[in-house]
Amino acid sequence: MKVLVAGGAGFVGSHLCARLLDEGHDVLCVDNLVTGSDRNIAALVDHGRFEFLRQDITEPFTASADAVFHLASPASPVGYWEHPFMTIRANTTGTFTLLDIARRSQARFLITSTSEIYGDPLEHPQTEEYRGNVDPTGPRACYDESKRLGETITTEYRRHYGVDTRIVRVFNTYGPHSQLDDGRMIPNFIVQAVAGQPITVHGTGAQTRSICYVDDLVDGLMRAMFAPDTTGGIFNLGNPEEHSVLEWAEMIIRLTDSPSEIRFEARREDDPLRRCPNITRARQVLGWTPRIGPEEGLLRTIDWFRADMERGGTYVPSEAR
C-alpha cells in the first residue's frame, strides 16, 4: 500500500515509518518538524519507497494514499505547553485536512488520540467506554480537549461520509527517538539518572503510571489499521503493568547504576493520580498484547539515551512533568 504518516518524523511516527517500510509499503512521511526531527528519519531517507514532505497539516496540501495515519500533534507537555495553538489546530484543522485526503482517496484512516482524554480518571483501569474527567480550562486542556474534538471529527466523517476510520488512544509510551527535553516521566528520569542529577518526582510519587515500549505500540497501530473488522473501532493501546511513579524512578536508578537521589517537589496541577489502560478490546479484536517487559524496554531506551547524550550534550530537564 501507499501509506501517509502525518507526524512521521516524530518519536512514534519514525518507528511506524520504519515498520511500514519493513513490511513492503510505500511511505509518505509528512511533518513540519516543529517537535519532530529529521534525524529520526535519517536512516530512511535513502530508501527507495520512502518520501519526506515538510508540510504543516493545518495548511491544505495534495496527496493520495491507501491508508492515512494521523500522529501529527505535539504530544509531550514541553511540546504542547510551548505550542498550545499549534496543538489545537493540528488535532482539529489538521484532522479535517487528513480526513479529506482519506475521503478523496477512499483510504483507511487512523487517528492517534491519547489517554489524556480520560483526564484524572474516576474509573480504573480505563475502558474505551469511560467518558473521562477532564478540566476544559486546565494546563493540559489544549492537548486533552483538542484530542477529544479530533475524535469527534473523525467519527462524524465515518457517519456522514463513510470514511473507513478508527481511533487509538495511546497510553504512556517510551523508547528511542524521544527528545532529551521531552518533559515526560521516563525520558526525564533516564536523562537525570544518566547525568547523576536528582530524580525529580512531583507529589508523593504514589500516583501510578503504566508504560508501553514503542515497538509494541507500533505493532498495535499496524493491527488497528490493517486488521479486519476495525472500522469505527476505538482502542486503548498501552501496557497494563502498573507501578507508582516512585517505583519507576527507583527502577531507572537501579538499571542505570546511578548515584542519583530522589527529590520530591509539589504535585503538578491536573496530574492524574492513576493511569492504566484496560486493553481487553485490543486483545480480543486485534489479537494485540504488549510483549516487551519494562526492564527489557528500559535497558534498550537507556542505551539509546546514553548515546544520544554523548552526541548532543547533557541537557537535563529541570522538572519531571
How many structural domains does the chain have? Answer: 2
In the chain, what is the straight-line distance between the N-terminal and C-terminal CA atoms, in Å? 39
Instruction: From 233, 104, 253, 263, select the one nearest 168 (Cα to Cα).
Output: 233
Residue 138: inside a domain: yes
In the chain, beta strands by DSSP E: 2-6, 26-31, 50-54, 67-70, 108-114, 164-170, 173-174, 199-202, 208-210, 212-213, 234-237, 242-244, 262-265
6 & 47 share domain: yes
Q: Within a domain: residue 194?
A: yes
Q: H-type helices in 28-167, by residue range?
A: 77-82, 84-91, 93-105, 141-161
Residues 22, 109 within the same domain = yes
185 and 52 co-located in one domain: no
Q: What is the pLDDT along the chain (321 residues), one digit of tens a residue?
A: 999 999 999 999 999 999 999 999 999 999 999 999 999 999 999 999 999 999 999 999 999 999 999 999 998 888 898 999 999 999 999 999 999 999 999 999 999 999 999 998 999 999 999 999 999 999 999 999 999 999 999 999 999 999 999 999 999 999 999 888 878 899 999 999 999 999 999 999 999 999 999 999 999 999 999 999 999 999 999 999 999 999 999 999 999 999 999 999 988 777 778 889 999 999 999 999 999 999 999 999 999 999 988 886 444 333 333
- Burial of 158 from C-beta contacts in 10 A (0-12 / 13-18 / 19+): middle
In this structure, the answer to whether residues 69 and 203 fall within a common structural domain is no
Give 174's strand partners: 213
- Residue type for position 36: G
Considering the domain architecture, whether residues 187 and 266 belong to the same structural domain is answered as yes
Q: Are residues 36 and 131 in the same domain?
A: yes
Domain-embedded: residue 285? no
**118 shares a domain with 233:** yes
Please state the length of the chain. Answer: 321
Active site residues: 143
262 and 131 together in one domain: no
Same domain, 197 and 222: no
Cα(279)–Cα(289) distance, rounded to whole angstroms?
Answer: 8
**Cα–Cα distance list, 194 to 172, 290, 319 (Å):** 21, 26, 15
84 and 39 within one domain = yes
| 3 state SS of 216 | helix
Cell of residue 33, nine digits? 518538524
* Spatial distance between the Cα atoms of 266 and 307, rounded to a whole number of angstroms: 32
43 and 190 both lie in a single domain: no
Strand, coil or helix: 101: helix
Classify residue 283: in a domain, yes or no: no
Domain assignment present for residue 299? The answer is yes
Do 110 and 259 sit in the same domain of this protein? no
For residue 227, the Cα-to-chain-centroid distance in whole angstroms is: 20
- Domain span including residue 107: 2-172+213-237
pTM of the model: 0.93
Residue 228 in any domain: the answer is yes
CA distances from 295 to 171, 247, 251, 300, 304 (A): 18, 12, 8, 9, 14
Which pLDDT belongs to residue 76? 86
Determine, yes or no, domain membership for 144: yes
Please indicate, yes or no, if residue 133 is contained in any of the structural domains.
Answer: yes
CATH for 79: 3.40.50.720
CATH of the domain at 250: 3.90.25.10
